[in-house]
Amino acid sequence: MEPFHADQSRLQSSGGVAQEGEEGETGSPGMRLSADLLHVPRRTQRTVEPHAMRRISRILSACTLCLLTGPVLLAAEPLLEKMNLFTEGTDGFRLYRIPGIVVTAKGTVLAYCEARKFTVADRGEIEIHLRRSTDGGRTWSPAKQVAHLGPRLPRNPHMPELKKKKDMGGPDEQTVNNPVAIAARDGTVHLLYCVEYMRAFHIRSDDDGVTWSAPAEITSAFEQYRSELDWQVIATGPGHAVELGSGRLVAPFWMATYERTPQLKNAVGIVYSDDGGKTWRRGDIAIRGAGEPNIVEVPEGGVLVTARNGDPRNRRVAVHSRDGATGWSKPEFIQDLLEPGCMAGIVSHPGTAVRPRPF
């Protein structure tokens, strides 16, 4: 891995805030989100071996997985079958993007994503849809809207006029964005998401995603970062969050401003809960000049975060923390992980780390 040195001019022109703004434009409009799942183990270990960052890099180079959008190659698993769970142009929605998938303590598979109604862009009328499978991915429930069914919230007032014309959507539309789920060991499923890229919420399910609690706003945890970055945009994930061996819930997110200045105006942060999601607090800034982070737990409770960035070397940047919230290592580029310029994921699997193809 190489040291991470943010190229500020590069981040300003093609990374930084543009990462969030281009999220819906870098993928193909003809996108299908599919789950290549024939059988899902009832419990998946939450470890990646070994602990050292350089060794993780070598493991990642040998274990590339196409999760949700392509064939999965795992020699120990039976032949896999492909299933399209969310298909563009169906059910009144133009596009489905920003997917995630978790397996609950009881073995129920939950697949979720943004359902973009009128546009492929990041803003407009966007809902969070979820499908369930109780037989290891063989059959699935119909898609269901699960997040923010209550009163609609005002639009984000900070978007520049140019971007408003490009992808704002109508004045009465609402963007519910960036769902990230945590399947806790006690059977609870937590879901964090944002509204209008400026307010954050938490909901929970105690019945494997059949029903969900009323949303609890947790924006105050994100507000605690303002002394370091006076953000105008926040977005959880994308993908999934994690429960550590200690029971701590950890969710990465990114924040940015719309200002075009020589200073870095975007960063990766962490919110975490030590009381089962009742309250949320901020961690340390994990990476400056990067966004769209993904997270996995590594042995002894440590956490690895990789993130999108605008560096011309086109490699994912990574950091490590012992507790998942503080004391982040110096950012380094992972040479074996190409930077796709859009959402990319990483998940843990017994004995290996696997990285999905970007979508």
pLDDT, tens digit, for every residue of 201-246?
Answer: 999 999 999 999 999 999 999 999 999 999 999 999 999 999 999 9
In a domain, 350, yes or no: yes
8 Å CB contact between 95 and 31 = yes
What domain count does the chain have? 1
In a domain, 272, yes or no: yes
CATH number, domain with residue 292: 2.120.10.10
Predicted TM-score (pTM) of this structure: 0.79
Mean pLDDT, rounded, for 49-73: 35
pLDDT for 79 equals: 64
Mean pLDDT, rounded, for 58-62: 33
In a domain, 359, yes or no: no
pLDDT for 123 equals: 87
Residue 247: Cβ within 10 Å count: 13
**Beta strands at 176-183 and 239-240: parallel, antiparallel or unpaired:** parallel
State which H helix or E strand residue 57 sits in: helix 53-62
Residue 145 tokens, joined: 């809207």
8 Å CB contact between 355 and 65 = yes
Q: What is the spatial distance between Cα 108 and Cα 110, in angstroms, rounded to a whole number?
A: 6
Q: Which amino acid is at 192?
A: L
pLDDT for 168 equals: 57
pLDDT, tens digit, for every residue of 167-189?
Answer: 556 678 899 999 999 999 999 99
The answer, yes or no, to whether residue 33 has pLDDT greater than 70, is no
pLDDT for 263 equals: 55
Task: State the DSSP string of 8-51.
Answer: HHHHHHHSTHHHHHTTTTSS-SS-EEEEE-S---S------S-S
In a domain, 93, yes or no: yes
The answer, yes or no, to whether residue 299 has pLDDT greater than 80, is no
Instruction: Look up the domain containing 121 and give its range.
Output: 2-354
- Cβ-based burial of 289 (10 A; exposed 0-12, middle 13-18, buried ≥19): buried
